[in-house]
Each structure stands twice: as structure tokens, then as C-alpha cells.
Chain A
Amino acid sequence: MLQIQNLSFARGKNVLFENLNFSMTEGDAMRVTGSNGSGKTTLLRIVSGLCRPDNGAVVWHGAVAQKNESEFVRSVNFLGHDDGLKKQLTATENLKLMLPLLGASPTDIEISAALDAAGLEAVKHKPVMNMSAGQKRRVALTRLDFMRHRVLWVLDEPFTSLDVSAISALVVKLRAHIESGGVLIFTTHQDFDVVPEASSLSLD
């Protein structure tokens, strides 16, 4: 399904990774580990199509992703360090205006229910700028509920700022995605195995 072939990337003289190879198929999960600056985020950005490698290729369903970019990115659900939320808009407005762009068209009721389930019932109609970092992250992660049609989930530090209950809820979502045949690549600095079924790739 997803093959990473001879991927190399350097920032100036600093080689982040060289001739990296791995492949993933339906239901696979991978945790990318490494110290700060080891290239975890860069790898995830390359896999999701945001960044081009110096050498090598990302192959998706047998085709080089860079050559079939628009088709490939429709399979990708990327969540980066930044939440991609507009601080002046409410959580509801953010999801309502963002999701149609990503190919999902949930109703207002569905969005409201998803935010309630994420524990954001009291703040869902408040501007995001008034939320804590954890609440903002929860809003961003609520998008995952509507992104199951995008098979390849690439999540950069999804557990950052979350409390224990939110981490548990996220793990349930991630496992559900894997069990339904999705592919998951994520980075985390959590000490414990948040998704034990995930294989590990170290960039150190």
C-alpha cells in the first residue's frame, strides 16, 4: 500500500536520514521515534506530500506519490504541530468550514456531537483563542472522526497537550482506524506504548 523507497533528506550538511526504506499495508501502524531534530517531522511531511525528499520516493498503491500528487493527497490526513485552527472562529465554525475542503460534509448536529464527545461541550461556541492548548488540540483531533475516508493518517505529536482521558479517547480512534484497514504513522514523545500494535522506526 505505502512504500518508502531509498528516502534521503539533508538540511544543509546535516543528513537527517539516508536510504530509508519501509513499507506498510492495510491495518499497519508505525511509531516514528528519535531525539529532537532527528527528522521525525520532516519524514512525516515527506510521507504526506508536503515536502520533497532529496532522493527516493513515496509509493502509494504502486504509483509514485509525487507524480500523482492530487490523487495521493486525497488519501492523506495530516495533523502537524500546529492545529490548523482559526483563533477568531469557534470550534464549531472551524470544523464546519474546514471539513468540506477535506472531502467531508458533516451536518451541524454531527459536528456538535463530535465536539461534545471530545469533552468540549462547554466551549464549542467560544472562539478558539479563548481555549487552552489541550482544548485546541482536542478540536483539531475531532477532525479525525470525519476523516475515515482518508486512509493514510500522518499525525505529528498528536498526544501533545492532552490529558489522560483525551489520550485514551485518541487511542480508541487510532485503533478503530487501524482495525478498519487504515494506515497510521505518528510521532510521540510519550514514554508508554500508546498504540502497542504499532511498529517502531527510530531515526537516531
Chain B
Amino acid sequence: MYKAFISVLRKELLLALRQKTDVVTVLFFFLIVSSLFPFAVGPELNTLKIIGPGVIWVGALLCSLLALHRVFETDFNDGSLEHLVLSGEPLTVLVIAKISAHWLITGLPVVIVAPFIGLQFGLSAASLSLLLGTLLLGTPVLSLVGSIGAALTLGVRGGTALTSILILPFYVPVLIFGAGAVVADLQGLSIDGHLSILTAMLCLSVALAPLAIASAIKIALE
């Protein structure tokens, strides 16, 4: 099982390495979206501080959405998804490997770059580290929940748009509690509740999303 997990992860990372433009495009998109806001809103520091976490979180959310179609679609189209299902290894484990790769390729770069973007919004070191923490908790949830939508729309014409419509309502709570934690901290309020809910979302999606995705893949292949 461990070998299968590593094998899928290696394959996905190697593919990302061969398609560097896809990875760079997502990161570039994040940089552009979050860097344009200070120009549009103006240099008022207090305003920037308040909107900064939200802008960065929306950027991270859109980046996750932008790359979702790649999680299973190419495997579905080239026949390799059939081999995953017929491998005899637990499909949930292989699904986790694919989502881990998706997060490493699209989520982690955003998490790494986010504190630098945060500087443009005048966020303090404490706010930046909190932002980093919430992104580390929240972006895997985006990948996991988003992958459910990607699996449900496999083989459907216009699947990318449909995935967005299906998934966005489930992204909103992550956005609210992710960005809300940083804003609450700026306002001197407690952030324990925000972080607890984000952690609970992560635990729930790690436990349930792979099962839902595995079932959706099997249905898509029928």
C-alpha cells in the first residue's frame, strides 16, 4: 500500500515537473490577483490590513479551483484511471496520493508565497505567521473538497464550470474561518474558535473526502 502511494505521488510530481508551465501559471495567477488589490484600493494602511487576509485567501481559493480539473481528468481521458482502479490497492490511498500531489503542486507554493504578498498589505509578523498557519490548515481542505467535485464531474461536458458551481459553497466556510482568524486577531479577538473549526474541517475532509472520491471515480468509469 505504501509502495503504491509513493508510486502515484512520484508519478504526479514528475508530471508536474514536466509541465512546469501549469504550476507556474497557478502561482503567477495568485501573485497577480493578490498584488493588484493594493493598487485598486489605495495606500490607506488600515484598509489594506483589513482586506489583506481576505484577498490572499480568495487568491488561494481561486488557485485551488483553477488546477482542480487536472487532478483526475487527464487520468480519465488517457485510461490510467482504469489502471488505478484495477491495481488492487485501496483506491482511497491512491486518491490521497493524488490529492497530496495536487496540494504540493498548487497549495504549498501559495502558502510559501502568501507571507510575502501579505507584506504588501502591511500585515505584521504575527499576522503573517497566523495567515501562514490558517493557509496550512485550510488549503489541504480546498484540495480535498475540490477533488470531490472534480471526481463527480468526470466525463461531463463543461465539467470545470460545473465543479466550480458544486464546490464553491463548500469553499466558503473555509474562506470565512481562514481569513476571519487573521482579521479577528487584528481586532484583538480570540482566534481559538476559528482555528478549531479549520482543524475540524481538515480532519473531516481527510477522513471522508477520499471515500467520496473513490466512489465517484468508480461511478464515472461505469
Which residues of A pack against B, CB within 8 Å?
Answer: 45, 48-52, 70-71, 73-74, 76, 78, 80-89, 93, 97-98, 100-103, 127
Contact with A along B138-170 (1 / 0, CB 8 A): 000000000000000000000000000000000
Interface of B is mostly: helix
Bound-state Cα–Cα, A86 to B16, Å: 12
Interface residues on B, range: 20 to 34
Count A/B pairs, Cβ under 8 Å.
Answer: 80
Most chain B C-beta atoms within 10 Å of own C-beta, residue among A70, A74, A98, A101: A101
Please name all residues of chain B whose beta carbon is closer than 8 Å to the beta carbon of A48 when the two chains form the complex: 86
Given contacts A73-B87, A89-B14, A52 and B222 within 8 Å (CB-CB):
yes
Please name all residues of chain A whose beta carbon is closer than 8 Å to the beta carbon of B77 when the two chains form the complex: 82
Q: Does B222 contact A70, Cβ atoms closer than 8 Å?
A: no
Q: Does A89 contact B86, Cβ atoms closer than 8 Å?
A: no
Question: Which of B14, B94, B221 contacts A51 (CB under 8 A)?
Answer: B221
Please name all residues of chain A whose beta carbon is closer than 8 Å to the beta carbon of B11 when the two chains form the complex: 86, 89, 97-98
Q: Does A85 contact B78, Cβ atoms closer than 8 Å?
A: yes
Please name all residues of chain B whose beta carbon is closer than 8 Å to the beta carbon of A103 when the two chains form the complex: 87-88
Which residues of B pack against A, CB within 8 Å?
Answer: 3-4, 7-8, 10-11, 14-15, 18-19, 74, 77-80, 82-90, 94, 221-222
- Smallest CB-CB separation from A77: which chain B residue? B86
Q: Does B83 contact A98, Cβ atoms closer than 8 Å?
A: yes
Q: Given known contacts A50-B222, A84-B80, what 16 new A-B pairs fall within 8 Å (CB)? A: A48-B86, A50-B221, A51-B221, A73-B88, A78-B86, A81-B79, A83-B79, A84-B82, A86-B11, A88-B18, A89-B18, A98-B80, A101-B7, A102-B83, A102-B88, A103-B87
Bound-state Cα–Cα, A74 to B1, Å: 13
- Smallest CB-CB separation from B221: which chain A residue? A50
